[in-house]
Structure 1
């Protein structure tokens, strides 16, 4: 059992949680939801011992707890196999004892103590299931998309996203009693996501607590949902769809209770105003006033934020063919990423690139914006093309010393100030102080929302998007989706977000062996 008892936590003047209590039982599957910046990561870090509460008690009841953050990285300068085996140091220790005892036996110098050590080491190896370790390492790495030869490669040879997968694989191999995952799917392609949600988590022997903004993922893996909001938590039984239904039912019930009380209060106050000057009924009026004074007045329940329809700046109309990719090949050393690929984007096309991580989707986008050069071939960007490029790590480029509003409006026409305010409000930067927070104090999710705002406010007629929904909460994903559907320009995006692709893309290509394989022809959607 993992328990939090009356936890309070703040950062400077900001209180994140106030007297929050929570119990996670054995073999539970719990999802944690809430807008970016609500405190989801803080809650899970407290559960995992990464943060201490200001007040209250965390009790793991002698259970093991493993935590994977959004920024988890593996060691560098070691092979993947060495990093994975370091997840279970007890195995290496026992193997060393076994080797020492075996050497004593081979030298003919074995004592009774050596024989006892040999027997004990053999028993310990059996208890630790060391004979299955390599198979377990292979299963986890394979599930997360690694090739068979991955164990022999140095961790340094992998990109940051793949290094995070190694860190995840290492934690999964440990199989702690309580597995805490903070947005684990951000760096996973569709195949790895499905393995995690349909195979690994359902069969996991302990409890799993996962922060996620993906309804499909939460629907599959969760039996309970915890919502983090307004310095506290609310619990809902069931998966994500159940949570949404139960939350709406609770809202409607509370709204009816509030409306009924307001109606009764109005009648009572009318009676008081009418008869407080009447000698015969003044006592009754006074009695009813005392009744109101003692009454616990219900607060009006919060409704879902209303949809704000935004008018984004228009860019100059592009040419009929904003980008033409001709016979492009790209190699890193001997590794072929793209092999003689051609693609013409026609004005109004909204094309999605899908496929495993590391297959070259980001590289193609970088070549279009000239951040990388093709090994062979040409990419022609028409002079009338105005590119808006949303990189995979766009939030890292923000200026930490600016406020949210200053960063959003940097280089923007001042006439767009009201549009910027509306966009920030829809992205949950509400209240008088929110737009004036320094970027450096924002959570990772909040930074992603600022990056999205700055992107959407800049005029462009070609959007290039690289995993744009990573780190965005559900509300912000909807803002982006609405903007892309409404956008009258051209889009080329790399994404694993099936909901976004289905809603916004008019064409789709799968990247496979350095080629583009047509899945859905954008020509079919052209006027």
Structure 2
């Protein structure tokens, strides 16, 4: 059992956790939620022993702990198989002892090494490695590939696979689905986590994921934590019911107070009513006041700039080939994009979705073929890791305005306010922001540049449900043209007018956006 007592954490003047208490039992499945910057990741880091609290006690009673954050990476210069076997360091030692005992014909040492191998279940190790790597989408023979040959997203999967193989008693996952395609995500939430032998604590903004894996929800808000039984939908219902009850109690008490105060004001100088007046005053003084429930988290309002005039056919892709060395990732791709199209690219990680966006954006060169961009096409490119390019020692407003004419400062402040950076919050340093808050700054920079052709690579990653919902709505109302890569089914269903699957270097049209989910399963 994990116990937390009077945990306190602040960053400068900002209190993130305020004397919080929490108990997490054995084999529980706990989802941690809250808006960007509320302190979810900070809480989980402290529980996992990755960050110190200012004060308070976390007692995990000697149990093993595993932690995966949003930037976890694997070792480089080794094969995937070597990295997987490194997850269980005792295995290599026992295998070496067994080989030495066999070579020396040392029966006692051989017996001990054999017992140790049975204890470590080394006979099932390759099968376990295969199950985890396959579930996370790795190809056959991946154990022989060097980790360096994989992209950053796939290296995060290698780190995740290594952690899952260790099977710690307490498994802490911070936004584990950000770099997973739908197939790998579904394996994690429907296959792996339900059968996991230990406790799983997950920070996530994905409602579907939380609904499947969570048995309890812990909400981090305004330095406090609240607990709710059930999954995310249950949490939302209970939270609304509690809000409605408190509001009803508050309104009833306010009415009663108004009646008493009116009585006191009317009869204050009336000697015959003096006793009743004093009684009412004592009642008011002793009354336990019901606080007005806080309104729901401020909703982000996002209005996209009107796009400049566009050509009828802003971008035409003809027989495009892209190779990295001997590896062909796109093979003869053609696509005519018409003004007003909102095209979603789906498919597993590594299929070539992000690569195609980079080619259209001109970030990477084409190996063969042509991409014709009409003169009136004004592009804006939002890369998958856009927030990582922000400069930590700049303030939010400085970073947002960087490279722009300061004449747009008023517009920038208005946009940042819509993204919940209000008043002095625009003077926060980027380096102290949470991952979700940095994503909002990156969005502000992106949206300040009027364009008629958006290139978006996983635009909803790192956004909390409120921010994500508003961005989806804004993109659905955008009057320009969009080419985007996404695993976000809700985004695809609500904002895409067409869907193409990237498979084996080709583009395959998906007739119905709703089928995009099925195409990846």
What TM-score does the superposition give when structure 1 sets the normalisation length?
A: 0.94
- 1:280 CA drift (Å): 2.5
The answer for unaligned runs of 5 or more in structure 2 is 514-521
Q: Secondary structure at the match of 1:312?
A: coil
1:329, 1:232 → 2: CA distance?
53
**Is the CA contact (8 Å cut-off) linking 2:74 and 2:155 kept in structure 1?**
yes
1:85-484 alignment, distance < 5 Å: 85-105=85-105, 110=106, 115-305=107-297, 307=299, 309-410=301-402, 420-430=412-422, 432-484=423-475
Report how many residues are paired.
Answer: 513
Does the 8 Å CA contact 1:310/1:419 hold for their aligned counterparts?
Answer: no
Counterpart position of 1:2: 2
The aligned residue for residue 48 of structure 2 is 48
Q: Deviations over 1:293-340 (max 9, x none)?
A: 222222211122465654432231110011010111111111111111
Deviations 1:26-68 (A, max 9, x none): 1111111111111111111111111122211111122111111
CA contact 2:66–2:168 (8 Å) conserved in 1: yes
2:498 maps to 1:496: no
**Cα offset, 1:399, TM superposition:** 2.8
Displacement after TM superposition at 1:281 (Å) = 2.1
Q: After TM superposition, give the deviation of residue 521 of structure 1 in Å.
A: 7.2
Q: CA contact under 8 A between 2:80 and 2:146: conserved in structure 1?
A: yes
**Two-structure CA RMSD over aligned residues (Å):** 1.7
Structure-2 separation of matches of 1:204 and 1:64: 14
The alpha carbon displacement at 1:366 in A equals 0.8
User: Distance in 1 between the 2:498 and 2:70 partners?
Assistant: 31
Partner Cα separation in structure 2 for residue 306 and residue 138 of structure 1:
45
CA distance in 2, matches of 1:258, 1:249: 14
Is this contact kept in 2: 1:312–1:419, CA < 8 A?
A: no
Contact kept? 1:508, 1:519, Cα under 8 Å = yes
Q: Deviations over 1:149-190 (max 9, x none)?
A: 110111111111111000000000001111110000000011
Q: 1:423 to 1:242 in 2, by over 3 A?
A: farther
Secondary structure of the residue that 2:309 maps to in structure 1?
Answer: coil
Partners in 2 of 1:421 and 1:274 — Cα distance?
A: 50
Q: Does residue 27 in structure 1 map to residue 27 in structure 2?
A: yes
Once the two structures are TM-superposed, the CA of residue 402 in structure 1 deviates from its matched residue by 2.6
Is the contact between residue 72 and residue 159 of structure 2 (CA under 8 Å) also seen in structure 1?
Answer: yes
- Cα separation, 2, equivalents of 1:368 and 1:360: 12
Unpaired segments ≥5 residues, structure 1: 523-527
Once the two structures are superposed, residues 440-487 of structure 1 have per-residue CA deviations (whole angstroms, 9 ceiling, x without a partner) of 211111101111122223211011000111111111111211110110
Give the whole-Å Cα distance in 2 for the aligned partners of 1:223 and 1:479. 28
Greater CA drift, 236-245 or 301-310: 301-310
Q: Secondary structure at the residue paired with 2:246?
A: helix
Aligned counterpart in structure 2 of residue 516 of structure 1, from 493, 497, 507: 507
Cα distance in 1 between the residues matched to 2:129 and 2:301? 49
> How far apart, in 1, do the equivalents of 2:93 and 2:297 lie?
56
1:412 & 1:281 partners in 2: Cα distance?
71
Q: Which residue of 2 aligns with 1:525?
A: none
SS at match of 1:148: coil
- In 2: Cα distance, 1:250 partner to 1:344 partner: 52
Give, in angstroms, the shift of residue 409 of structure 1. 3.8
Tell me what 2:517 maps to.
none
**Which residue matches 2:516?**
none
Provide the rounded CA distance (Å) in 2 between the counterparts of 1:354 and 1:419.
34
Find the aligned partners of 1:262 and 1:244 in 2 and give their Cα distance.
27
Supply the distance in 2 between the matched residues of 1:101 and 1:255 (Cα, whole angstroms).
74
Q: Matched residue of 1:378: which SS?
A: strand
Q: Distance in 1 between matches of 2:361 and 2:302?
A: 27
Partner Cα separation in structure 2 for residue 141 and residue 170 of structure 1: 9
Q: What is the rounded CA distance, in whole Å, between the counterparts of 1:25 and 1:116 in structure 2?
A: 41
